[in-house]
């Protein structure tokens, strides 16, 4: 999976055989656990419906909100682990499972629309703002990885900028008790989650969301105005 710039992030499904896909998922889970010390936990996966031949989420819900990319068990928070041995054992049982990263532990995630995320990323890179990993999902969202405890800082930052809430900006913080699907998890039928800025040694220190919130809010505001004009 090639790293792309924010402005060029696209979601093109790749044709892979099940074995290659399973190996890639396991390799990613082990890398997150061993190199970043992030907790990982298997999620659901996409499978073929025996009756129709269509792809569906392994949870069986035809109205699934995150097909192939959400927790598969109620105790997923407790099951999440940074142990490579345990992760290997879990993916050996469910080799096609999504790689999920619990948020609110080693990091939080700021979740914005992809267009807003690309604009924000370009502005942040231009000003040489310290950034952590950034991921893009096939449903056209972008995840900015930041230090834990982001929610109150986002609320305070938006209030200082004159915004009553983050909901109006289509900006959300995934914190304690939540999760984010990590590359190369397949999300629905349109493609896989991929890194826009992949985790490396150079971004092992995550940014404080307070340093990003004004730019993210500006970009989300621009996206909101653009959407209204196009309606």
The answer to whether residue 52 is domain-embedded is yes
State residue 165's pLDDT score. Answer: 81
Q: In a 10 Å sphere around its CB, with 0-12 CB exposed, 13-18 middle and 19+ buried, how is residue 222 labelled?
A: middle
186 beta partners? 192
Domain-located, residue 139 = yes
Residue 66 belongs to a domain:
yes
Give the pLDDT confidence score for residue 228 in this predicted structure.
60
Is residue 67 domain-resident? yes
Question: Does residue 218 sit within a domain?
Answer: yes
Helical ranges in the chain per DSSP H = 18-31, 76-79, 84-93, 114-126, 150-160, 213-230
pLDDT less than 70: residues of the chain:
1-17, 226-231
Copy the structure tokens of residue 38. Answer: 């992030």
pLDDT at 166: 85
Number of compact structural domains in the chain? 1
Residue 24 lies in domain: 15-230
Q: What pLDDT sits at residue 22?
A: 93
pLDDT at 6: 43
Q: How far apart are the first and last CA of the chain?
A: 34
Please indicate, yes or no, if residue 8 is contained in any of the structural domains.
Answer: no
Q: How many CB atoms lie within 10 A of CB 11?
A: 17
pLDDT, residue 16, reads 54
pLDDT of residue 7: 40
Is residue 10 included in any domain, yes or no? no
46 belongs to a structural domain: yes
pLDDT of residue 167: 84
């Amino acid at each position: 999976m090639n790293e792309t710039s924010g402005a060029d992030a696209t979601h093109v499904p790749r044709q892979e055989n099940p074995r290659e896909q399973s190996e890639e998922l396991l390799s990613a889970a082990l890398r997150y656990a061993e190199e970043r010390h992030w907790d990982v936990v298997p999620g659901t996966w996409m499978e073929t419906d025996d009756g129709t031949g269509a792809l569906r989420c392994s949870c069986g819900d035809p109205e699934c909100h995150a097909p192939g990319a959400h927790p598969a068990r109620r105790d997923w928070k407790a099951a999440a682990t940074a142990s490579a041995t345990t992760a290997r054992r879990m993916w050996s049982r469910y080799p096609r499972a999504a790689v999920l990263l619990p948020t609110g532990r080693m990091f939080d995630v700021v979740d914005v629309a992809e267009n807003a995320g690309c604009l924000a990323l370009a502005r942040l890179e231009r000003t040489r703002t310290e950034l952590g990993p950034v991921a893009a999902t096939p449903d056209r969202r972008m995840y900015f990885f930041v230090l834990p405890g982001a929610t109150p800082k986002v609320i305070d930052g938006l209030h200082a900028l004159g915004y009553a809430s983050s909901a109006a900006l289509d900006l959300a913080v995934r914190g304690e008790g939540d999760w984010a699907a990590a590359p190369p998890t397949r999300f629905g039928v349109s493609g896989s989650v991929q890194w826009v800025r992949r985790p490396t040694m150079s971004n092992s220190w995550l940014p404080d969301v307070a340093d990003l919130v004004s730019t993210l809010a500006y970009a989300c505001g621009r996206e909101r105005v653009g959407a209204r004009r196009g309606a």
